[in-house]
Amino acid sequence: MRAGDLRHRITIEVNAATAQSASGEKLPDWQPYRTFRASIEPQHGGQIDMNQAKTVVSTLSYKICTRYVPGVTPAMRIRFNGSSATPCSVNPRNLAGMTLGQLSESAAMDRPEQRPRYFAINSILNPAMRNIMLVMTCTEAVPP
pLDDT at position 37 is: 95
- Domain holding 68, by residue range, is 3-17+27-83+107-142
Position 88 in a domain: no
Number of domains making up the chain = 1
Q: What CATH number corresponds to the domain at position 12? A: 2.40.10.270
In the beta sheet, which residues pair with residue 48? 57
Position 133 in a domain: yes
Burial of 80 (0-12, 13-18, 19+ CB in 10 A): buried
Secondary structure class of 108 (helix, strand, coil): helix
pLDDT along the chain (144 residues), means of 10: 87 87 84 95 74 68 94 95 53 52 48 77 94 94 62
Q: How far is CA 15 from CA 11, 35, 57, 135, in A?
A: 13, 15, 24, 21
pTM summary value? 0.69
Q: For residue 119, count other CB atoms closer than 10 A to its CB.
A: 21
